[in-house]
Amino acid sequence: MKVDQSIPGFIAPKTMVRSDQTAREIFEQTINNPARKRFGFGHKVAIVNVDLQKAYTSGEFPTSYQTDPRQIDYIDRISAQARAKGLPVVWTRVSYMESAADAGVWGTRTDTPDSLQNIKLNSRRGEFDDRLNIDPDVDAVYTKHMPSAFHETALQSLLIWHRVDTVVVTGGSTSGCVRATAVESLSRGYRTVVPIECVADKHESYHFANLTDLSLKYADVVAVQEVFDWLETYRPDEQ
């Protein structure tokens, strides 16, 4: 229906902003804005490491990608710090049954050897990166089938049991499963933190555009050093 713009008091909506800036430049401008308000860390943190599996991190598959070359080292350090303080550390990976029936409609977009639904259970593509130090006796490990780490996993129950109020999200991809996890984290009432050096995507435009959007709406997008510093000062006996 056409809106009659002659109606008294009618104000035309603003048109979408257009810019010649790159996604990286817009992100840097956003993140360096001193007026940008944060949610901040709460009282207790959980580290949720999303899909750090060989399909996406090893370099041996076309679907793998890297943004910061020290991403895995940083994530390992965050996880070790949290574990040492008795804080929950979670690892997710995505993989599917042989028929891929558990991929749902998400698995129908393409069907190539590199397609998502062809990451099979117990396959090399579904294995965690060998550089990671995962403690199976302490850390929670979930297999997921959809973008968010919360979807049909026990993550929410784990966070409630540990009385967590802040979720630090690492992994990949920034525009996919990291974003989905961060948005759902906020939606479930958690302060959400995304350390810049700990997330990656296949193209810098997707990566930085989504970091900008996360920073503006859903999460605190911060340097990884801020997470190191918070974990260093955390005292379990004070909780």
Instruction: Determine if residue 108 is left, alpha or beta; phi over 0 gives left, psi from -120 to 50 gives alpha, anything else beta.
Output: alpha
Measured CA distances, 71 to 55, 58, 125, 166 (Å): 16, 12, 19, 21
Q: Cα(31)–Cα(220) distance, rounded to whole angstroms?
A: 10
198 classed as catalytic = no
The C-alpha atoms of residue 204 and residue 23 are separated, in whole angstroms, by 8
Contact between 211 and 193 (Cβ < 8 Å): no
DSSP for 72-88 reads HHHHHHHHHHHHHTT--
Helix, strand, coil share (%) of the chain residues, nearest 5: 40, 15, 45
Catalytic residue among 155, 169, 177, 199: 177
Asked if 48 and 92 touch (Cβ cutoff 8 Å), the reply is yes
Tell me how far apart the alpha carbons of residues 19 and 30 are, in angstroms, rounded to a whole number. Answer: 14
| Angle in degrees, CA 97, 184, 176, rounded to 5 | 55
Which positions are catalytic?
A: 177
